[in-house]
Structure 1
Amino acid sequence: MGYRIAVAGATGNVGREMLNILAEREFPADEVIALASRRSLGSEVSYGDRTLKTRDIDDFDFTGCDIALFAIGSGPTKTYAPKAAAAGCVVIDNSSLYRMDPDVPLIVPEVNPDAVMGYAKKNIIANPNCSTAQMVVALKPLHDRATIRRVVVSTYQSTSGAGKEGMDELWLQTKGLFVPGQEMAPKKFTKQIAFNVIPHIDVFMEDGSTKEEWKMAAETKKILDPRVKITATCVRVPVFVGHSEALNIEFEQPLDADEAREILREAPGVLVVDKREDGGYTTPVECVGDYATFVSRIRDDSTCDNTINLWCVSDNLRKGAALNAVQIAELLGRRVLKKG
């Protein structure tokens, strides 16, 4: 007997990836239900070699569903997640709504799988921010070995992190620069994204940081260790899919680049591509469609003791969102629901 799974937001970028990954990983589902808003009612989405017609989330009764994967944003989630949870369905939510709720576990399965047992307080589990998820996968094995004191991270985040509208804006602006009369002013982003970088993701906070930068610090503390100090600069770049990060990591105990490289080679969810030669590293284009968090450019920081630098790349629609949600569902199945 398998699971009855609902995917809310099935017509969006992340929802479609959730369906793809459920099929790819052969998740033991007897039934998969595609849910969307009323304006998308009847739209067709792919699930493996099957085509599903979307159903209206407004009218859907979650009773009898085991797990619901949510990719609908914080506003709709606030309405529908409590209904699903009250009906006995465990919600795995990709929005930011519940991430810092002390009664909702925030989970990256390679990092804090034991936290899944906290789901029962609200029947809800939170999926972290895309940039946080890939970072903590790389940090966890190093933290276990030498205890991380401080992380300085600069992100290079793709337009898909802002949804379909972000990707469309990059495409249309790029085309408009070469086709007279098709120029496009910024709408989704605050400035031109084509052939540009924008050091601004989410809203500004009182201290001058953006909410995206705050999320990376706050979520990492909740997932990995509240004692770790983190400072972030988050930048949007003209890439369609794939987030990149440059990390400077300071440890409490001695750890050099060579040992860090060997630790990461054995770490779950990590793929090390680190040759000190032209092209001996991974870029966003190469990580698209892959499950792994790729780590390259591992090297000692000569300016600070017990400190290394590394480059981290991942498909943000997969590990940063859809894949992590499905991995949480798999973890929940193994440890709690035990069907299939």
Structure 2
Amino acid sequence: MGYRVAVVGATGNVGREMLAILEDVNFPVDEIYAVASRNSIGVEVNYADKRIYCQAIDDFDFSKVDVVLMSVSGAFSKEWSPKIGKQGPIVIDNSSAWRMDPDVPLIVPEVNPDDASLARRKNIIANPNCSTAQLVVALKPLHDAAKIKRVVVSTYQSVSGAGKAGVDELWDQTKAVFTLGPTEPKKFPKQIAFNVIPFIGSFNDDGYTDEEAKMWNETHKMIDPAIKLTVTCVRVPVFVGHSESVNIEFETPLDEDEAREILRDAPGVLVVDKRDDKGYITPKEAQGEFAVYVSRIRNDHSAPNCLNMWVVSDNLRKGAALNAVQIAQLLHERGMLERAHA
């Protein structure tokens, strides 16, 4: 017997991925509903071999569903997630609205599955930031083996992390460069085509951006608050797939060969690490895949107990839609999804 599932924000990039992944992983679905704002009433989306039509969130009865996958803005989620949770279903929210709420678990199933036991406090589970999700999948098994002391991360984040408008801007600007047309930025603060932008989100008083702060705050919540983490987030002209250059300092020795074997056995990780000119993964190859890929694992000769590695994943999948569906699978496996009465 399957569940009744609602996808809120079903017309967006991540919402559509959620629908696709529910089918890909054979999540037990009896009924599926696409929900969005009034502007999207009647918009057609696909699930399995059928078309479903968006319903307005204002009119939708959430008491008839068991689990809700949310891909909306933080402000929208702040308004709607508590209302939906009070009607019974567990909300798995992809926005930043609930990640640091002490009564809301922030979950990556490969990293902290036991935190799902806290889900009924507010009937909300938070999905981490896309760049954090892939990072913690790679860090957690190493932290378990040789406690992590400090991490230095530089991200190379694709434009799809900024939604459809980001993808459209890269596409339009790229065409414009070749036709000598205008390339004025709209979604991004500067031209993204054939460029990189060392700024994502908004500046905090300390000079870091809120995107960078999300990564260390969320890593602390999911793995260990004692880990020192510093981040520089960069937007790059790639359509899909986030990459990260990661330097890790451990409290005890862990060499590259040990790390490689640990990561090969870790859930959700695929190691592609050969010492040749094609022995690594790029975001293009990670696109459409479920795994977090780790390459370029090597000792850091400049400091003791340190390693470098390269971490790549599809940000629309593991960084967003896939992780949300995996949380739903985790709840199903642990018997935490209560079926609503017909």
TM-score norm. by structure 1 comes to: 0.98
The secondary structure found in structure 1 opposite 2:334 is helix
1:149 is aligned to 149
- The C-alpha deviation readout for 1:286-310, integer Å capped at 9, x for no partner, is 0000000000000000011111000
8 A contact 2:66–2:338 mirrored in 1: no
2:119 is aligned to 119
1:199 is aligned to 198
Partners of 1:143 and 1:209 in 2: CA distance:
25
8 A contact 1:107–1:328 mirrored in 2: yes
8 A contact 1:4–1:30 mirrored in 2: yes
- The C-alpha deviation readout for 1:251-279, integer Å capped at 9, x for no partner, is 01110001000100110000000000011
Partners of 1:64 and 1:111 in 2: CA distance:
31
8 A contact 1:15–1:71 mirrored in 2: yes
- The C-alpha deviation readout for 1:6-56, integer Å capped at 9, x for no partner, is 000000000000000000111001001011111111111111211111111
RMSD of aligned C-alpha atoms? Answer: 1.0
8 A contact 2:96–2:128 mirrored in 1: yes
- The C-alpha deviation readout for 1:74-100, integer Å capped at 9, x for no partner, is 111112111110100100000000000
Alignment of 1:182-331 (within 5 A): 182-331=181-330
Q: Which amino acid aligns with 1:295?
A: V
The secondary structure found in structure 1 opposite 2:177 is helix
Partners of 2:83 and 2:213 in 1: CA distance:
29
Partners of 1:23 and 1:251 in 2: CA distance:
40
Partners of 1:142 and 1:79 in 2: CA distance:
38
**CA 1:87 to 1:338, structure 2 compared with 1: closer, same or farther past 3 Å?**
closer
Q: CA deviation at 1:339?
A: 7.2
**Please, which runs of 5 or more residues in structure 2 have no aligned partner?**
none
Partners of 2:337 and 2:244 in 1: CA distance:
36
Q: Which amino acid aligns with 2:218?
A: E
Q: CA deviation at 1:169?
A: 0.4
Confirm or deny that 1:56 pairs with 2:56. yes
Q: CA deviation at 1:336?
A: 3.2
Q: Which amino acid aligns with 1:87?
A: Q
User: Percent same amino acid at aligned positions?
Assistant: 65
8 A contact 1:201–1:210 mirrored in 2: yes
TM-score norm. by structure 2 comes to: 0.98
Number of equivalenced pairs = 339
- The C-alpha deviation readout for 1:223-245, integer Å capped at 9, x for no partner, is 11111110000000000000000
2:40 is aligned to 40
Partners of 1:72 and 1:59 in 2: CA distance:
17
**Please, which runs of 5 or more residues in structure 1 have no aligned partner?**
none
